[in-house]
Each structure stands twice: as C-alpha cells, then as structure tokens.
Amino acid sequence: MGAAMSEPILVMNKVGKAYSAAVPILRDVSFSQAPGEFVAVVGPSGCGKTTMLRCIAALMQPDQGEVLHLGQQFGDPPPWLSIVFQDYNRSLFPWLSVRQNVGFGLRKIDRRERDERVEQALSAVNLTHAADLYPWQLSGGMQQRCALARSIVVRPQLLLLDEPFASVDAQTRIDLQDMVMDICKKMSLSTLLVTHDIDEAVFMADKVVVLSTRPAQVVEQIEIDLPHPRDQLTTKESPEFLRLRHRVYTLVRHQAQKSAAAHTEREDQ
Amino acid sequence: MEGARVTFRSDTVDAPAPNILTWLFRRVGSLNELLKISPRLGVLVKGAAGVAGAILIWELIRALRIVDPRDLPAFLAIFRTALQGLWGGELAVAIVATIGSWAPGLFIAAVLGVAAGIALALMPRLEVATRPLLEFLRPIPSVALIPVALLVLGIGLQMQLFMIAFASIWPVLFSTKAGVESVDPRFLETGRVLGLGKAARMARIVLPSTLPFVATGLRTASAIALVLAITVEMLTGRPGIGFYIENVRLNGLITEMWAAILVTGVLGYLVNALFMALERIALPWSPENRER
Amino acid sequence: MNANRRHIASLAWQAGTIVLLLTVWQWAALTYPAPYLPALENIATGFLRLWHGDLLFSAIVPSMTRLAIGFVIAVVVGSVAGLTLGYLRNLDPWVRPVFEYLRFIPAVAILPAALLLFGPTDTMRIFVIAFGSVFPVLLAATDGARRVEPLLLEVARVERLSIPERLFRVILPASLPSIFAGVRIALSIALVMMVISELIAADNGLGFYILRNQRLFQTANVYAGVLAIGTIGLALTLALLAVEKRVLAWHRGWRGLPGADG
Ligand SMILES: Nc1ncnc2c1ncn2[C@@H]1O[C@H](COP(=O)(O)OP(=O)(O)OP(=O)(O)O)[C@@H](O)[C@H]1O
Ligand SMILES: [Mg+2]
C-alpha cells in the first residue's frame, strides 16, 4: 500500500521530440510528479510546452526517452488522464450544449448518475445557469470553465492544463485560479499546469518546473513549500512567496535573454 | 512493449480498442510509410492499385456468378471492344454526334444564361417580377419536359438543342447573378474614383470579377448538358452515344453496351477536366485556382 | 414602414407577372387552338385528378416510393462511405481514381446496363436513382470529414472513444453542414433519375403517366404531370431545408459569431 502510494503518477524520463529532424523541440526533459502533487511548468513562448503535454497525454509518442504513467507506457491516452487544451474554444463541440459538452466523456453509466455528475461538475465551475447555452454563446472565461468541467467530470487522477487562464481578464483569472485549486484539492487530483505567468505558477503549485528555450530542457525544479490553503492576498504578500517568485523570475528572464540573443545571432549570420 | 508502440504519420489514426477495423487501418498506415519515399509515385501506385482492385471485383462478381456472366463480359473484352469502337468504329461516330449537339446546346445556354444573369443582377425590378417564374421553373426536373418538348417541337435537332439549353441554363444563370451581386463594392468605388464611366466599370470591373462564378456555373452546366444530350438520344433515337447504348442493348450486343458505358464515363470525366483546365488557363487568379 | 411598402410593391409586381403570363397563355389557347396549347382549366383539372383516387396510386405513390428508397440509400451509403474516406485519409489515394471516374459517368448512361441486369423492375429504378445521387453526398461527406477541427478529434481520443464512436459522435455532427449541402444536390439528381427511369421503362409512376398522355395527345395531362413533378420537387426541397434549419441551428449560430472559426 505504502509503496503504491509513493509511486509517481507521472515520470518523464529524458523525453525528446522533434517535428522535423532539423528542429528538436524537446531534449532530455525529465521530471516526475507524485500523486496529488500540483506541478506548474513555466517556459518561454514557443519552447515546446504544448508539445510536451501532447507527449504526456499520449496524443503523440516521444522520439526518445519514455513517458511513464504509474510506471507504464501508453500508446493512447490513459483512462485516468484528462486535459484542457490551450485553444479551449476550438476544443468545445459547437453542436452540443454546455451540458452535453460536459457530459461528452461519460459513457456506459446510467442516466441518473450521469446527469448528477454533470450537474456537480457544472456547479463546481459555476456554470449551472448557462448549462443549456451553446459554447459559442459564452464568453471566453465561461468557455474555459466549460472545458474544465468536461475534463473533471470523468474523475481523472491526472489533469493537464495548457495555459488555461491565458486569455481572460485579471479578475476572472484570479477567480479561476482559486476555483481550480479548490477543485484539485477536493478531488485530490494530480495537476500539471502549463503557464506563462510566474505569479500564478508559484501561487498555485507545489513544484515549479522551469523549461529552457527551444529545444526545451528542464533548467530547474523548485519546490514551493507555501502552506495550504493559499490566499490571493496573504500568500502573495508573504516573504516566502516573494523569495520564490524572485528565484523563478530570475531563471525565466535568463532564458528569455538567451532566446533574444539567439535570435540576433541568427539574424547576424 | 517496444514492439507494441508503433508511431504513425497521422496520429488521428490510432485507436484505443484493437478491433479488426483498427488493425486494417494500421496495415494501411504502415504500407503508407513504405510508399512515402516518393509521394508522387506513391499516389500513382496506390491509384493504379485501386483501379486494379475495382477490375478484380468486377471479375470476381463474374467468377462467383453473382450476376449472369453473359450480362457481365470480361473487363478485357469490354476494353478491347471500346478501343475498336473508338478506332474508326460506330462508337466514335456516336460520340462525335453527341458532342455535336452537346456543344451548341451548351453554347446557347452559356450565352443566354450569362446575359440573363447579368440582367437580373443589375435590374432588381426585373428580378422581383420574374422571381415567381424562375422559382417555378427551376425545381422541375428538366427531363420531365422532354415529352412536352416532343409535343411542341417534334423529334429533331431543334428539340434536342432546346432541351440541352433549357436544362443547363440554370447553373449559368444563377451563378452569374451571384457573381455580379458579390462584386466587392470597393472595386466599384475604386473605379469611380479613377474616373471610369458606367460602361467601363461594367466591362473592366464587374465582368472580370464575375468570370470565376460564370466558369463554375459553366462546369456544372456542361455535365447537365451531357446528361440531357444522352437522355434525349435514348428517348427519341437521335444519333449519339445514348441511342447507341440503347440500340446495342436491344440487339443483345452486351459487350458493346458496356464498352459504350465505359467510354461515356471517360467522356464525362474529360468534359469536366476540359472546363477545369480552361478555368486554370483563362482565370489563373480565380479564388478556386489560387487555393491549389 | 418603407421596407414594408417595398415588400408590398414587389408582391404586386410578382402577382402581376403571374397573372399576365396566365392570361397570355389562356388567350393564346383560345385563339390559336393547338394540341400543345391546352386551356388552363384542362391542365388544372388534370393536375387535381392526380392527387386522389386511381391516379394517386398508379402515378404519384409508385414514383415517390422509388424516389424515397433510392434517395435514402444514396444518403446513407454516401454519408457512411464519405465520412470513412474523409477520416481515414490514408485510404483516399487508393480509391480516389475509381471514384473520380464513377462520379463523372453521366448517370443516364448506366440505365441500359441496369435494365439488362435487373430487368424493368423497381430494383432497377431504385438502383439508378441511388447511383445517380450517391456521389454528391459522398464527396460532400468526405470533404466535411476532412475538415473536422483536429482538436475535437484529440478530445475524442482523450475521452477514449472507439473508431465507430468517433465517427458518430464527432465526425458525423461536424460534417453535417457539408453533408446537407450534398444532400440538396442529390435530391434534385434523384428526381431527374426517377423521371428518366420511368420514361424509359415503367408501367406506372409519373414519368410513365406523362409519356402515355403524350402518346395519346392528352396534352393537358402532360402539363399536369410536369406540374406535379415540379410541385413534389419543390415540396421536398422545402422539407429538406426545414430539417436542415432545425438540425443545423447550432451551425448558423456558431458561424454567425465573428472570429469563431479562427
Ligand atoms: N504540428 C507541428 N509541426 C511542426 N512544428 C510544430 C508543430 N506544432 C508545433 N510546432 C513547433 O514546435 C514549437 C513548439 O510548439 P509548442 O506549441 O509546443 O510551444 P508552446 O511552448 O506551447 O508555445 P506557446 O507558449 O505559444 O503555447 C514551435 O516552434 C512550433 O512552431
Ligand atoms: Mg502552447
């Protein structure tokens, strides 16, 4: 029992991936995630974060290394995995209502339970009032919540979130952060969050993985030992938070500078 | 473990449950990998294999006697008969006759259709007044009018041309109208700013930007005109491929009938290809050609 | 207010044209009696007679039955085959040349062959109707399935849908707008093939009715038959549009949203 508990839900072991031989996207990406852990991945734009998530979700197979889910490799998405895509608005079925979208992945269970779980998920993301609308009638933040509800309704153990709060306003973003942290804690989910926002990463995660510019490598893994539950004001004002934020920020800025230098170099040639 | 992980070119092909369907598609997938070495050659080889497969199915139907083999001659025999018929045989004469009524009929439809389309688009009053008539005539399947045309015009070239033109005028008319109506108003404003008169705007802006629509309409019309030409030949015995097919069938010349059908398919294909090629040459800037 | 007045004016114009045309026809029929110019009342009587009694069951019902069966076969076969082909792109180069050839055969040309294989039976007529109208549906479905948003297919993979489930729950609904466009074309072709098959070999149906009356010089009935076919075509098209409007309500709303596709 104890041994099974401590087995990581996800292990990335020297994962490499290239769309074409000349341009490697991922190189030797290694890290692991314990059950119930909240991991945030930060990295410069275009470095290959989405590519990494697609490898993790087994939507793509890595060229080198291995992705292990509970010690196993998968050719197709493992049943306990769920993902919210970066282009969430394109990932919602335009012909299904919000309620039907959320219930999309629930099959082979009886209707009563199905309806119940959909309602639960909808109220967890605060969308009950919009359940009968089509997704394209919703605002960006609501679409985002709809996609989130769809991925938690199947009760996954590992939830992948690809820049889920990138295109919403600041207030909505804060609300969504609290909501996601709350849901993940309640469902004791292991969550892997990809984000650009350093505050967000430090605020939400138990561990921050910093990626380098392309080809992406893990620059550093930083344990975030801020106490739970976290609060938008008190946590973000605590000296410990500021210290961690400073550290992550320095690492990321360093990567960004390297990226800019690489660009000018290329232009010089 | 390692062997079970197969990487695919298109990852949408993977399936979760290994059923027969999945297995089949994975096979196709890996064959694809082999043929990827030279994509052009691959497409050619696969296409040829598909055609060979179709012929094989044909022969299989014969061999298993699903259909009386006397009604379904060997493909090779049909092919040979088709070639003989085309090489100075009756089939060639029939095709020439069909084209002889198809082309003028289509020409009449094109001229009248373009003129009417432009007129309707430019004169809203006329369009409103004639709308009930057009909406009434359009859904009538033109072949149903063949008996009527027989009554009024009798059997003859005149009647055949009328039927071909009547049936194929609609796509030309409606796409021309749509073309004129969808001319970007900014183009017309540009024309006015540059001092073009009404006639000049018509000739130099409206007409050219309508041409791609006309071309699409014409391509549709060309296929309809062919169907009508053949139908009229079958029904009234006017010389042509339609009459030929029906005639050889009535005389029990089964191989000749299949050969003629084979050739008719090629004719249909070529007619379409001809109009596609014309479009590409005459209108290289048309949106349809730009996409490719 | 202004728009309303314009609407009334255009209705008046349209009514005017119709009345004018009918008057000219009737005047010509009375002044220059000719077999091909029957009086309007005779056409109307013939038309009305078609919709009840013997003629309903010997002309309209057989035609409609064959049309319905052939058309439904074409829609189902065309959709399933087209969606499969569009989804499994790998299959496409193998079958494309054959389909490209088959779809350009003028469908009438197949009629004598069908007559040879099936004899002058309903099977023959249904086959011809289905063969003629299957290709627009097939091509539209292929096209639709090929354009399905790839992200939706990935959602289906993450939710572990099997291939049939993906076809029915993702690819079919996503392709429906395209399929409906093909079905509309198919309907008009099916009508044409129905008439042709009845003109060439039948002993009932509307095509047969028209042809027989033409041979008997009952011209008013010929016109009545043509009118009936036109009416049926119009009614079916309107019905199809109504179904489409309901089924694709989401599509219009979705497309109406600016930037929804990007
Ligand atoms: N299907 C593909 N084929 C070829 N190249 C691709 C493909 N998808 C992504 N890339 C390239 O791989 C690189 C990494 O893409 P990816 O989407 O993983 O980056 P990202 O870190 O998620 O970026 P962002 O922060 O903007 O979301 C980019 O340079 C992109 O151009
Ligand atoms: Mg990304």
CA A265 to chain centre: 33
Q: Residue B2: pLDDT band by 50, 70, 90 thresholds?
A: very low
Residues of C near A (Cβ–Cβ under 8 Å) read 149, 151-152, 154-155, 157-160, 165, 169-170, 173-174, 176, 250-251, 253-254, 257, 260
Domain coordinates of chain C in residue numbers?
A: 41-250
Cβ atoms C163, B15 nearer than 8 A = yes
| pLDDT, tens digit, 9 for 90 and up, residues B88-112 | 889 999 999 999 999 999 999 999 9
What CATH number does domain C41-250 carry, 1.10.1370.30, 3.30.70.100, 3.40.50.2020, 1.10.3720.10? 1.10.3720.10
Higher-pLDDT residue of B80 and A255 is: B80
For atom 30 of ligand 1, which residue has the closest CA?
Answer: A46
Distances (CA, A) of C85 to A91, B268, C4, C111: 23, 23, 49, 27
* R_g (Cα) of chain B, nearest Å: 25
ipTM, interface predicted TM-score of the complex: 0.87
Question: How far, in Å, CA of A206 to CA of A197, rounded?
Answer: 15
Question: How far, in Å, CA of C22 to CA of C20, rounded?
Answer: 5
Output DSSP code: residue B183. Answer: S
> In the Cβ-directed half-sphere of B71, how many Cα atoms lie within 13 Å?
14
- Taking an 8 Å cut-off on Cβ atoms, the answer to whether B141 and C93 are in contact is no
Cβ atoms A132, C248 nearer than 8 A = no
Q: How far is C251 from chain B (nearest CA, A)?
A: 23
Reported as type and span, the H/E element at residue A81 is: strand A81-84
> In the Cβ-directed half-sphere of B137, how many Cα atoms lie within 13 Å?
14
| pLDDT, tens digit, 9 for 90 and up, residues B13-41 | 444 455 666 666 666 666 656 555 566 77
**Amino acid of residue B109:** A
DSSP bridge partners of A24: A18
- Position B289 scores a pLDDT of 62
- Position B36 scores a pLDDT of 59
Question: How far, in Å, CA of A171 to CA of A152, rounded?
Answer: 23
Q: What phi and psi values does residue A159 have, to the nearest 5 degrees?
A: -115, 125
Ligand 1 site residues, Cβ closer than 6 angstroms: A 19, 25, 45-51, 86
Q: How far is A76 from chain B (nearest CA, A)?
A: 6
What's the B152 CA to ligand 1 centre distance in angstroms? Answer: 69
Which of B17-31, B180-194, B210-224 has the lowest average pLDDT? B17-31
Distances (CA, A) of A61 to A81, A210, A214, C138: 16, 22, 19, 33
Question: How far, in Å, CA of A133 to CA of A72, rounded?
Answer: 40
Q: Residue B42: pLDDT band by 50, 70, 90 thresholds?
A: confident
| pLDDT, tens digit, 9 for 90 and up, residues C53-76 | 888 888 999 999 999 999 999 999
Q: What phi and psi values does residue B232 have, to the nearest 5 degrees?
A: -60, -40
**Amino acid of residue C82:** G
The domains of chain A, with CATH numbers, are 10-80+156-268 (3.40.50.300)
- Position B30 scores a pLDDT of 61
Please tell me the total number of residues recorded for chain A in this structure.
269
Higher-pLDDT residue of B2 and C170 is: C170
HEC string of B1-55 equals: CCCCCCCCCCHHHCCCCCCHHHHHHHHHHHHHHHHCCCHHHHHHHHHHHHHHHHH
